[in-house]
Amino acid sequence: MLIHNIGQLVTPRGGPQRGSRLGELRIVPHAALLIRGGKIAAVGPEADLLAAYPDEPRHDAQGKAVVPGLVDPHTHLLWAGERAAEFEMRLQGKTYLEILQAGGGILSTVQATRRASVEALMAETRPRLLRAFAHGATTIEVKTGYGLTLTSEFKMLEAILALDDEGPWELVPTFLAAHAVPPEFRGRAEAYARLICTEMLPALKGWWQEHANGRPLPFVDVFCETGAFDLEQTRCILETAKALGFPLKVHADEFDNLGGAALAASLGAASADHLVATSAADIRALAASDTVAVALPCTPFGLAESRYTPAKAILEADGLLALATDCNPGTAWCESMLFAMVLGCRAMGLTPAQALAAATINAAAAVGRADRIGSLEVGKQADLLILETDDYRHLAYRFGTNLVAWVVKAGRFFRVEGGISCTPQPFS
């Protein structure tokens, strides 16, 4: 399939982009892109490709812009229930951590998720995945963390793997048993952290070998925060996971600076996420490593807070910055990576080019897949978006509407209708 009549083909140049390189784009006007076997076989000026592949079936992009499929490297998309009442409580003055400490917050979603079957979890999550996909996210990381027992965490993983098999999206699973201290361990975070190290992680390894069909091991993540897991507990869990061969992520400095970011860097984690309260020293440590700093601007926005990830400081320190939605029922129920880009520009001072690179190639690096996705280069998977606009900057400039016309995932075409639903097209 040859996508022709592309008004503007836009892609990050090269691999993951550090510091001042963030936002280096290749922009080809009047472009075309050839897809063979789900991969990009050629990209370049339309005239050249039309001449080289005269008999190829064609898809007319109608002069619009084409960008890589967005990658959402941090979500909690799989859950049961909802928490609108808590949103109202927060607007009336309660804080997120107060609600969590009172047994609500994450723990109320844990109750609902424990009760739900795999099928029910899938049914609740599918429309969210569809919205994320229709808003341009072709690869989506999804965490467990609303089960907090071995069986309920495995139930979540089972649902994530089944939804990944369903597609058309590509899911990246993350094991987040260390998301909160479960009610059975109230006041005994230490004991629960030990259980994760001594029983859950070794069991996860065996479970994965049996159930995951040869997929690479999932990420292991920890919520390193006041009221969740402290730095030593986080270290113990991440070191154990690393010794077992799991790649790592960490939730660090969402509210308080506990040192999780520097720890993530020292352990070679793929990413450290949130980074709102991160100290200058921790930013330096992160920037000196290959750990991607994942900013989640929908979260302070969702919590109506004024502090965001200090993107400029991370870039000045030469760090790798990515964007994600953090989609979850508590702090940020937002499936749209486009909105994360919009906020990245408004609240973190990114340019549209930087926001695009942070949502594609750097986000791919945050899930360890930058060699396969995140940019439009020959040999990479054909994951791309045909927009409603002929200027990619509109993705950051306009907000509150969906500007994606077509999502192409591994060479399969999906028409986005009414901004929310996707219909696979017969030719693919």
List of residues contacting ligand NIG (CB under 6 A):
76, 105-106, 109, 223, 251, 254, 299, 326, 328-331
Q: CA–CA separation, 362 vs 345, rounded Å?
A: 16
Look up residue 269 and give its two tokens: 């984690």
> CB under 8 Å to 39, separation ≥6 — which residues?
379, 380, 381, 382, 410, 411
The site partner of 240 among ligand NIG, Fe ion, none (C-beta below 5 to 8 Å per kind) is none
Least distance CB 146 / ligand NIG (angstroms): 7
The site partner of 299 among Fe ion, ligand NIG, none (C-beta below 5 to 8 Å per kind) is ligand NIG
Least distance CB 203 / ligand NIG (angstroms): 23
Q: How many residues bind Fe ion (CB under 5 A)?
A: 1
Site for Fe ion in 181-210 (CB under 5 A): none
The site partner of 105 among Fe ion, ligand NIG, none (C-beta below 5 to 8 Å per kind) is ligand NIG
Is 309 or 328 the residue whose CB approaches ligand NIG more closely?
A: 328
The site partner of 109 among Fe ion, ligand NIG, none (C-beta below 5 to 8 Å per kind) is ligand NIG
The site partner of 106 among Fe ion, ligand NIG, none (C-beta below 5 to 8 Å per kind) is ligand NIG
Is 40 or 157 the residue whose CB approaches ligand NIG more closely?
A: 157
Burial 65-95 (b: 16+ CB within 10 A, else e): bbbbbbbbbbbbbbbbeebeebbebbeeeee
Burial 390-405 (b: 16+ CB within 10 A, else e): eebbbbbeebeebbbb
Residue keyed to tokens 């939730």: 251
Give the count of alpha carbons within 13 A of 186, CB side only.
8
Residue keyed to tokens 């113990």: 236
Considering just the CA atoms, what is the radius of gyration of the chain in Å? 21
Strands (E) located in 76-209: 137-143, 170-178
Is 169 or 223 the residue whose CB approaches ligand NIG more closely?
A: 223
The site partner of 64 among Fe ion, ligand NIG, none (C-beta below 5 to 8 Å per kind) is none
The residues facing 36 across adjacent strands are 39
Is 105 or 218 the residue whose CB approaches ligand NIG more closely?
A: 105
Least distance CB 106 / ligand NIG (angstroms): 4
Least distance CB 251 / Fe ion (angstroms): 5
Q: DSSP label at 386? A: E
Least distance CB 295 / ligand NIG (angstroms): 12
Is 276 or 395 the residue whose CB approaches ligand NIG more closely?
A: 276
Is 270 or 376 the residue whose CB approaches ligand NIG more closely?
A: 270
Is 69 or 302 the residue whose CB approaches ligand NIG more closely?
A: 302
Is 222 or 358 the residue whose CB approaches ligand NIG more closely?
A: 222
Least distance CB 349 / ligand NIG (angstroms): 22
Least distance CB 176 / Fe ion (angstroms): 8
Is 223 or 406 the residue whose CB approaches ligand NIG more closely?
A: 223
Least distance CB 84 / ligand NIG (angstroms): 13
Site string for Fe ion, 314-353 (x = CB under 5 A): ------------x---------------------------
Residue (of 81, 163, 150) closest to 119 by Cα position: 163
Other Cβ atoms closer than 10 A to 29: 11
Strand (E) or helix (H) holding 302? helix 298-302
Site for Fe ion in 71-110 (CB under 5 A): none
> CB under 8 Å to 113, separation ≥6 — which residues?
79, 80, 81, 121, 146, 147, 152, 156
DSSP string, 111-141: HHHHHS-HHHHHHHHHHHHHHHHHTTEEEEE
Q: CA–CA separation, 275 vs 256, rounded Å?
A: 9
Taking CB positions, which residue lies at the least distance from ligand NIG?
330
* Phi, psi for residue 240 in degrees, rounded to 5: -65, -45
Residues contributing to the site for Fe ion (CB under 5 A): 326
